């Protein structure tokens, strides 16, 4: 059988090779001709999978090695008996690492006090729940805002959006939905931004369309002081470079990109594909891991976090877009996104025994059993 695979799926050939003939292509360039004779299609978030792409093809299985799947028309797949799999939670730890690192970077720039104050976590699914646990462990007062969960489970343990927006830090971890009672498109609009107090921090590692970027630019220009770290952008890869110049920390949609997270996502989808086609899966993602990087002994949490991952490096890479001709910026964004050094999750670092107890709450050197799945 023929498998069409986004070339950026980590260890994709090793994982999906047992299924048959694997053809790797850039995700944005996969087209109807490429998939016409394929029985399986494996993508990441940049490939739009719908009737336009798959109509008339032989595809029987679609997998996206990502937690989110708003780029896939799942209803159409189900209507045509095409099996589908994604990798919920595969990047939850990676995003939690990014959130801590963004806050540590803002602390280093004296824009925030690391480990202090209240945090409104908007979206408490796989990712948001992991972020909340990590933030609580390092001293933040965490408040969960998840209207769908509150409706299903009861209001206890949740705050509403206005309460979340009143916190010292607001971090977004919702899916992008344009319709329905809990639509998230432009959830953070001008009115929401007005509710955020002076000196607050806004983090977005969800989807770009969750934030009204025009309203955010206006707030940054004219409103009370607001520190902002953005990883996701409306219109990717054609992002708003004017907004890029206004925010404190800007990264190229890589919050969920760690070696472990990407391999975990590959493994989850590869297992689903193997089950679909009744094929053995001999590949183990852990075998792909290189030796753990070493954290130099330090008992300062913010310093230790930045030693493991400093988002200011990715920020500097993304700001290279400002030196690129506008017509070339979308292509350059994709190149920057996939061209940086591969991060390792905090848990997969070697931490000196003398500071292990101090740094453990940050996730450094302590793999979570839930992250061994896949």
Q: What is the mean pLDDT of each run of 10 residues along the chain (374 residues)?
A: 96 96 97 97 96 97 94 97 96 96 98 98 96 96 98 96 98 94 97 98 97 98 95 97 98 96 96 96 93 88 95 98 97 94 94 88 79 49
Distances in whole angstroms, Cα of residue 230 to Cα of each of 4, 100, 155: 32, 13, 29
187 CB burial (10 A radius; 0-12, 13-18, 19+): buried
What is the rounded CA–CA span in Å between residue 363 and residue 305?
9
Of 125, 67, 62, whose CA–CA distance to 258 is shortest?
Answer: 67
Q: How many CA atoms lie within 13 A of 244 on its CB side?
A: 25
Please indicate, yes or no, if residue 323 is contained in any of the structural domains. yes
Q: Which pLDDT belongs to residue 358?
A: 85
Of 342, 374, 316, 325, whose CA–CA distance to 94 is shortest?
Answer: 342
Please indicate, yes or no, if residue 269 is contained in any of the structural domains. no
Phi and psi, residue 146, nearest 5°: -150, 85
Q: Domain of 229?
A: 92-250
What is the rounded CA–CA span in Å between residue 204 and residue 231?
6
The number of domains in the chain is 3
**This model's pTM is above 0.75:** yes
Of 86, 110, 133, which marks where a domain is finished?
Answer: 86
Please indicate, yes or no, if residue 190 is contained in any of the structural domains. yes
Q: Which pLDDT belongs to residue 374?
A: 46
- Structure tokens of 211? 């934030």
Please indicate, yes or no, if residue 263 is contained in any of the structural domains. no
Please indicate, yes or no, if residue 277 is contained in any of the structural domains. no
Residues 145 and 42 reside in one and the same domain: no
Of 35, 67, 86, which marks where a domain is finished?
Answer: 86
Query: Which residues are the active-site residues?
Result: 207, 236, 253
Q: Where on the phi/psi map is residue 61: left (φ > 0), alpha (ψ -120 to 50), or beta? A: beta
Please indicate, yes or no, if residue 29 is contained in any of the structural domains. yes
Please indicate, yes or no, if residue 240 is contained in any of the structural domains. yes
Residue written as token pair 């490429």: 34
């Amino acid at each position: 059988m023929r498998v069409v695979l986004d070339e950026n799926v980590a260890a994709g050939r090793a994982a999906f090779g047992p299924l048959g003939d694997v053809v790797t292509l850039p995700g944005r360039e996969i087209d109807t001709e490429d998939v016409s004779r394929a029985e399986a299609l494996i993508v990441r978030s940049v490939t739009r999978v719908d009737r336009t792409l798959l109509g008339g093809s032989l595809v029987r299985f679609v997998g996206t090695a990502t937690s989110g799947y708003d780029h896939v028309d799942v209803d159409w797949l189900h209507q045509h008996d095409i099996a589908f799999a994604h990798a919920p939670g595969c990047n939850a730890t990676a995003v939690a690492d990014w959130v801590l690192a963004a806050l540590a970077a803002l602390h280093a720039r004296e824009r925030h006090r690391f480990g202090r104050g209240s945090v409104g976590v908007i979206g408490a699914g796989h990712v948001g729940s992991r972020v909340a646990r990590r933030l609580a462990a390092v001293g933040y007062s965490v408040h969960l805002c998840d209207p769908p969960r509150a409706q299903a489970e009861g209001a206890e343990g949740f705050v509403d959006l206005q309460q979340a927006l009143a916190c010292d830090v607001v971090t977004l971890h919702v899916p992008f939905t344009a319709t329905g009672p809990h639509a998230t498109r432009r959830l953070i609009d001008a009115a929401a931004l007005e509710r955020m107090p002076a000196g607050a921090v806004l983090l977005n590692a969800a989807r770009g369309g969750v934030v009204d970027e025009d309203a955010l630019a206006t707030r940054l220009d004219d409103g009370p002081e607001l520190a902002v770290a953005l990883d996701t952008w409306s219109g990717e890869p054609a992002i708003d470079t004017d907004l890029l110049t206004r925010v404190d920390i800007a990264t190229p949609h890589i919050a969920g990109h760690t070696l472990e997270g990407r391999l975990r996502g590959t493994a989850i989808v590869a297992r689903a594909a193997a089950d679909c086609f009744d094929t053995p899966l001999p590949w183990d993602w852990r075998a792909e891991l290189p030796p753990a990087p070493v954290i130099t002994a330090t008992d300062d949490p913010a310093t230790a976090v930045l030693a493991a991952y400093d988002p200011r490096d990715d920020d500097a890479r993304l700001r290279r877009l400002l030196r690129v001709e506008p017509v070339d910026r979308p292509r350059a964004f994709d190149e920057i996104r996939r061209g940086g050094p591969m991060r390792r999750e905090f848990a997969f670092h070697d931490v000196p025994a003398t500071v292990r107890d101090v740094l453990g709450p940050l996730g450094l050197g302590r793999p979570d059993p839930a992250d061994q799945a896949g």
